[in-house]
Amino acid sequence: MSDELVVLRGGSRDRESSRVAEGVRRILTASPAPGLLDVYEANGETQELAGNPGLALVFVHAGQEPAGDLAPELLHSPHSG
């Protein structure tokens, strides 16, 4: 399975980018708010990112949800840039 370059818009991770498995349409990230996760969802847009070939898929901040029993190792940590 290949991966896709994505860029996050809004929330605490605005403008961070990462690679995710092809077909991913929702990303949960650690939130600065204790006990919460930031939720990002694909919106169908693409964007150029400096230094990267091709286009990145755009994921927009869709809100927060309780972390509950989600194991920390299951969280996705995008990169700044």
Q: Domain of residue 40: give its range.
A: 3-67
Q: In what order do the strands lie in the sheet with 3-9?
A: 17-21, 3-9, 55-66, 36-48, 26-30
Question: What is the pTM assigned to this prediction?
Answer: 0.81
Report yes or no on 72 lying in a domain: no
For residue 81, pLDDT over 60 is answered with no
Work out how many domains the chain is built from and give that number: 1
54/19 Cα distance (integer angstroms):
13
pLDDT in tens, 40-58: 999 999 999 988 888 999 9
Specify the 3-state DSSP secondary structure of 78. coil
Q: Quote the longest CA-to-CA distance of the chain.
A: 37
Looking at per-residue pLDDT, the higher value among 78 and 31 belongs to 31
* 80 inside domain: no
C-alpha–C-alpha distance, residues 44 and 16, integer Å = 17
pLDDT in tens, 11-35: 999 999 999 999 999 999 888 888 8
Report if residue 36 sits inside a domain: yes
pLDDT at 71 over 90: no
